[in-house]
Amino acid sequence: MEDGIEQTEEDLDKYTWATVDFKAWPKTSRLFREIIVTEKIDGTNSHILITPINKKYQDPNMLTYFYGPDASTWGVFAGSRSKFITPGKTTDNYGFAQWVVNNIEDVKKLGPGHHYGEWWGNGIQRNYGLKEKRFSLFNVTRWCLHNEEPREIQSEWATEKKYQDKLPPSIGLVPILYRGNFSTVQVELELRCLRDCGSKAAPGFYNPEGIVVYHTQSLHSYKVLIENDDKPKSNAS
């Protein structure tokens, strides 16, 4: 009935009916599962994208391209938190895009996908007492440093063992402070140790920012700052 007038089947046929998708409530993750606590480095969020491309239609944001073993063409992009960047005084982000170009042979070894991390060091935020800038990836589950022994990680197949991939020498990782079952006591302990002992990413630097807690079952990350953690980001110094 519309405006008090009863509608016939012929009237209803005039409407275009849309299918409504059902959206189920997601499964709730269990809190007391493994967490990975890493140092939160105070730099600038950056990432590298390696993706298949059609060489005939090159994106102006693409830094370079290379050929895969099967003659496929792969494009390399650099990004800040919010956009793609390219080398140049007004188009780069603290020189990260230029660094990607300069280290392309190591960058190519990361393989396809988005590779997120922190670009930090000299001239960026806390500086950390460094004379150079560094790129440290966030994904400590997949990767290990070039001089470390890969550890076994979860595999898609129960009968198959899977190990971490080694990073090339020019690319780092955020330092792991704790890996184990969720515990607020442990989180507070790691934060206190970082405050008292200084940065693990840059030993000898005693003003680190805080920690990141990655919950492996929910696949979410949470940060805890040493100072002003109770304030909104806009008010925190």
Range with the lowest mean pLDDT among 48-52, 140-144, 232-236? 232-236
Residue reference for tokens 């979860």: 154
Domain architecture of the chain: domains with CATH: 30-225 (3.30.470.30)
Distances (CA, A) of 144 to 138, 154, 163, 167, 201: 11, 15, 10, 6, 14
Mean pLDDT value of segment 79-91? 96
Residues with Cβ within 8 Å of 229's Cβ and at least 6 positions away in sequence, in order, are 210, 236
Tokens, residue 114: 């988005």
Give pLDDT tens digits for 26-44. Answer: 899 999 999 999 999 999 9
Q: How far is 123 from 133, CA to CA, in rounded Å?
A: 8
Mean pLDDT value of segment 101-130? 97
Short-list 208, 209, 236, CA closest to 225: 209
> Mean pLDDT, the chain, as a whole number?
90
Whole-number pLDDT of residue 18: 66
pLDDT tops 90 at residue 103: yes
One-letter amino acid for residue 207 of the chain: N
